[in-house]
Amino acid sequence: MCIRDRLSSLLPVCVYEPRTLLDRLAELYAYVPALLQPIIDIQDPLEKMKSVMTWVIASMHLGISQYMPFTPTLGETLQGKLKDVEVCAEQISQSPLISAFMLMGKDICINATHRMQAYAYPNSVEAVLYGKKVVQVFGVCPATYYITNPLIEVKGMAFGKRIFKYSGQIIIEDTVNELYGVIVINPVKKGLFANLFGDKKHRADYIRGFITKERRVLEEPERVIYKESGHLSVCEGHWIDSLFFDGKVVWSVDAIQPEELKRPKNKMLSDSTLRLDVQALKRGDEKEAQRIRGLFNSVQREDRKLRRRGVMLKK
């Protein structure tokens, strides 16, 4: 039986990495300066959409870890810079887990509210990231993109080989120019996709996508995905290392490096790096990290009870 909000349960600290979910999510934006910011000078809406899809696919390998991040506390924050792009984030809800992000650069703004729902099984964890990224581009050809998120699964949490993988689809909607990008992850997994996209020798990180002007992809994605022709552009590759658009290489993991998030020297007291359990785990003191994390969970449970009681009294 799956259990909701499992990220806040007391799993052994050995399955965690010394950072919180805010830091993990922030890493997904490390390609913004190299792949996304240059689109402000592109005038062709189709080429813009290609660049946005390239950024989305290239960023997928950045969030990979065989360990779980710590659950952010309510009000926890993150600040930093990716070159000249300002990054700000805050944990605005504890149950459910909701993280709000804003990135501001020259002629570009990204807003995202990620609601994380985790389901724990005996040897795996599945995560659904609800909400969309909203990318606003100003410059010579303004556009606004709404981007959905794929499903996440980590197997081997208790025993066996630990495997991280994505599944499902990513849909990108350009509301200004009425273009729609669709990315299908590991399409050969299902029979209909296998018949459409080829044999079953593809790697698990194989992706295929396309750009279309058919709006019905938002309501009936399967009908449009199964079409073999009529797309404005087609891409394929592997989200771990490479991507091709219409047979041309547009991204290679060795050719384009992600930007490291630079954190400010003077941090807010709510900054994610100042958490005591994170610092203890960085030192390698798992016992102390487990103890502090237990205290955090107790305080947060009591806080939720008080908030629920306050809501009931108001009613």
- In this prediction, residue 8 carries a pLDDT of 45
Quote the mean pLDDT of the chain. Answer: 85
Confidence of residue 178 (pLDDT cuts 50, 70, 90): very high
- In this prediction, residue 313 carries a pLDDT of 62
Q: Between the CA of residue 33 and those of 125, 126, 217, what are the distances in Å?
A: 32, 30, 29
Question: Does the pLDDT of residue 285 top 50, yes or no?
Answer: yes
- Find the range with the poorest average confidence among 95-104, 115-124, 260-269: 115-124
| Digit-coded pLDDT (tens) for 124-161 | 878 888 889 999 999 888 999 999 999 888 888 778 88
Confidence of residue 35 (pLDDT cuts 50, 70, 90): very high
Confidence of residue 224 (pLDDT cuts 50, 70, 90): low
- In this prediction, residue 159 carries a pLDDT of 80
Mean pLDDT of 260-265: 94
Nearest to 60 by CA among 174, 203, 167, 217: 167
- In this prediction, residue 200 carries a pLDDT of 47
The whole-model pTM stands at 0.84
- In this prediction, residue 248 carries a pLDDT of 95
* Range picked from 11-20, 49-58, 204-213 for highest mean pLDDT: 49-58
Question: Does the pLDDT of residue 18 top 50, yes or no?
Answer: yes
Strand positions, DSSP E, the chain: 16-20, 68-70, 77-82, 85-93, 97-105, 108-121, 124-130, 133-137, 143-147, 151-155, 163-174, 179-185, 206-212, 233-238, 242-245, 248-252
Tell me the CB-side half-sphere exposure of residue 77, using CA atoms within 13 A: 13
- In this prediction, residue 9 carries a pLDDT of 53
- In this prediction, residue 167 carries a pLDDT of 87
Neighbours of 187 (CB within 10 A): 21
- Find the range with the poorest average confidence among 69-73, 194-198, 227-231: 194-198
Question: What does residue 198 show for φ and ψ, rounded to 5 degrees?
Answer: 125, -160
Question: Does the pLDDT of residue 314 top 50, yes or no?
Answer: yes
CA 307 to chain centre: 29
